[in-house]
Amino acid sequence: MKVGVHIHLFLIGIALFMTPVLGSLDVNLFGGVGKNASFYPLLLGVTLFFVENIARKSRLNFPRTKSAYAILAFCAVLLFSGAVNITTLPELRYQGTNGATRFFIQYGTFLFSVCVAWYVFIVCKKTGGYPLAYFEKFLVGSFVLAGAYCVLEIGAIWGNDTLRETMFFIDTFFRVGAEGERGLYMRLHSLAIEAPSFAMYMGLVFPFITSLCLQWKGWKKILAIGLTTYLILLIILSFSRTAYVVFLVELLCYILLFKKSLFNCAYFAVCILLIFFYYIVVDSDTFFLSIDPVKVVSSLFVSEGYYDASTMVRYGTTFAGLEIWKTAPIFGVGWGGYGFYSFDYLPAWIWHANAPDPFFWRDNSLINGVWPPIHNLYVRILAETGCVGLISWLSMNIFVIKEEFVILYHQVDLKEKIRIRNIVVSTFGMILYGLNSDALNLHFFWIVLGIVWFYLDAIQRGSINLNTNEGEQ
């Protein structure tokens, strides 16, 4: 039975709606990717779509863009990294798995992500119109969902028993470590597994929520300003150093892209100043155990207790990744292979960081335990695929940004142009978050990539009118 394109659009929208549920699902299927709620509607959609088209013997064209070719090149590099380490991978052992198994699982996960982008590209082509307007509604809904949960979390941290019990009750339906085991932390997690993951989501959705202030009128504009202010507050209360840096970069990009609407954006600075003034000056002795956002940022450079330990662990894993890369600088040690080598290259000082993480990673008696992270996507790619892999991945990112600006240059209608600018800002955020996360299974990125391919293909074929100029924002 033919599945209508509107069903596929809906499944992609649901995936966007579920984006804030990052790494927190209490599910052991499909490895780490299965802990992201957005994976399941995409798995259903991709499966139905490709099975249907294979059965009908339909021809599915891959996008003819430089970023798409770079992705295919990166896929080839990943395979080659396994081929040059084919004798070594089966001998590696860690937590009940070997290097060959790890390689194929990680490669399969990446191929699925590429298929997601391809799937989104083809579905958008079948719409014959502007899919971003449709997807934007799901992104706004995802923030409302995450923000509503944060009300419970803030109330629980503040000591409200009713809100705490309500939050714990909701947790039992989906979250890892629920059943009363999850503690209350002085950093907002929302629906994600940890504060940095939630902060990453906030950075991704920030431009889309903010742009509502430019699109909505009347009382809706007041609502949009309120949502944006609340979003900035949640970013601050995540106390994520990376989130602060990414947010400021995104804000700068946003202002530059909307430079003719500076008056509309001026309230951001006011919101930020007011929030910081209240939580640093007015109520710094009571709220969230007096965690100072300024000290959070300064901890990147000086010792600041918990953050000092966290920084040492992250620097230590990055150091290990670079040392591993030195052993195989051209094609790396094989995709997914970092964890097998990490303990041989972790610096001695990481064990004195007063952080439990390295000791968990060292426990090789576990089966499917916590896999040693590297906390930096680019160092991971360098260690596992060498210089060739990193060059191909960076090339893809550069091509994506250039293609987004090509789309902007062709001037879509006013509202659509705002949405594409949002994608540009969000892309910069995703690239920066790669400095703090080593995962490639963030489905938001691959959905965005598919949308970019669609618009560029539309420009190449002239299939939709991208030249309507309703005025510059």
pLDDT of residue 274 exceeding 80, the answer is: no
Q: What is the mean pLDDT of residues 324-336?
A: 92
Judge contact between 202 and 234, C-beta under 8 A: yes
Q: What is the average per-residue pLDDT within 326-346?
A: 89
Greater confidence (40 vs 200) lies with 40
Per-domain boundaries in the chain: 5-297+378-461
Q: Is the pLDDT of residue 235 over 90?
A: no
**Greater model confidence, 116 or 212:** 116
Q: Please check whether residue 254 is in contact with residue 266, taking contact to mean a CB–CB distance below 8 angstroms.
A: no
Residue 314 structure tokens: 């992250």
Q: What percent of the chain stands above pLDDT 70?
A: 79
Q: Tell me what pLDDT residue 470 has.
A: 41
Q: Which residues, 6+ apart, have CB-to-CB distance to 207 below 8 Å? A: 250, 254, 421, 422, 423, 425, 426
**Least reliable range by pLDDT among 12-16, 147-151, 430-434:** 430-434
Q: Which pLDDT value is given to residue 468?
A: 45
- The least confident of 49-58, 418-427, 444-453 is 49-58
Half-sphere exposure of 443 (CA within 13 A, CB side): 32
pLDDT confidence of 364, banded at 50, 70, 90? low
Residue 1 has pLDDT above 50, yes or no: no
Question: Over the stretch 108-119, which tens digit does the pLDDT of each residue have?
Answer: 999 999 999 999
Q: Concatenated DSSP letters for 229-277?
A: HHHHHHHHHTT-HHHHHHHHHHHHHHHHHTGGGHHHHHHHHHHHHHHHH
Q: Cα(358)–Cα(469) distance, rounded to whole angstroms?
A: 56
Q: In terms of pLDDT, which residue wins out, 107 or 415?
A: 107
pLDDT tens digits, one per residue of 346-360: 887 777 766 666 666
104-118, 121-135, 182-196, 347-361, range with the lowest pLDDT: 347-361
Q: Pseudo-torsion of CA 128, 129, 135, 137, nearest 10°? A: -140
Rounded mean pLDDT, 399-426 = 86
